[in-house]
Amino acid sequence: MPVRGIRGAVQVPDNSSQSLAREVPVLIQEMLEINQLSYDCLISILFTSTPDLNADFPAAAARSLPLGDVPLICAQEIEVPHGMPRVVRVLMHVETDIPRKAIEHAYLGATKDLRRDLAQ
């Protein structure tokens, strides 16, 4: 079965564990739902966050979902002048027969401005 990458992003309201715990699972679920995928399709998830988000790991917030043994890892985005603050980005690797051009990416709220070419 082919492996595909799905992109997503969400801006959290503040640098707190609670905000990450609220927003990150919503993003992951949206990425799966719009592509009609189940948790069983997941291979791994890479999270990045802007330097101003250091209250917790986005992967820790995602663990509230039934991810089982899905490998998760976090990294920090480079600090770009005038970049959007408080953003968690996701690159989800999945097994699916969905053609690459048919994959839907999830940029929630203000993050639609990050990738107008991909955002719904």
Residues catalogued as catalytic: 7, 63, 74, 77, 89, 107, 115
Location of structure tokens 């770009």: 80
First to last CA, the chain: 26
Q: What amino acid occupies position 12? A: V
Altogether, the residues listed in the chain come to a count of 120
